Amino acid sequence: AQKVTQAQTEISVVEKEDVTLDCVYETRDTTYYLFWYKQPPSGELVFLIRRNSFDEQNEISGRYSWNFQKSTSSFNFTITASQVVDSAVYFCALIGSGYSTLTFGKGTMLLVSP
């Protein structure tokens, strides 16, 4: 079975603060893929990143960075110098090589105030 846990239901920060969204996963597959999606108030899910289980390098894209640690089954997402436009619900998702469908976490709502 696959499982994704996003323990933080809601996080509130003030603009320019750094914030980390946690994601812990469970899978028996040795090959798997992890994803992060952003859902702004408009509702559409926007793909942010895909990481495969063999690539443990951290990824940085502008103000976004991702820390993948197989030892702790975690794939955490950090936003540096947060902005109001970062306010959204963020979903972590997992698919193992033996599966055809994604398993999503329940999401973390990030509120960035000016």
Partner 1 sequence: DGGITQSPKYLFRKEGQNVTLSCEQNLNHDAMYWYRQDPGQGLRLIYYSQIVNDFQKGDIAEGYSVSREKKESFPLTVTSAQKNPTAFYLCASSNRGHQPQHFGDGTRLSIL
75 or 91: whose CB is closer to partner 1?
91
Rounded CA-CA distance 29/54 in Å is: 12
Q: Which of 3, 30, 106, 113 binds partner 1 (CB under 8 A)?
A: 106
Contact 27, 96 (CB under 8 A): yes
**Within positions 2 to 61, which residues make up the interface with partner 1, using CB under 8 A?**
9, 33, 35, 37, 42-47, 50
Q: Which of 19, 17, 11, 2 is nearest to 108 (CA)?
A: 11
> How is residue 52 written in tokens?
């495969």
Residues that bind partner 1 (CB under 8 A): 9, 33, 35, 37, 42-47, 50, 91, 95, 97, 100-102, 104-107
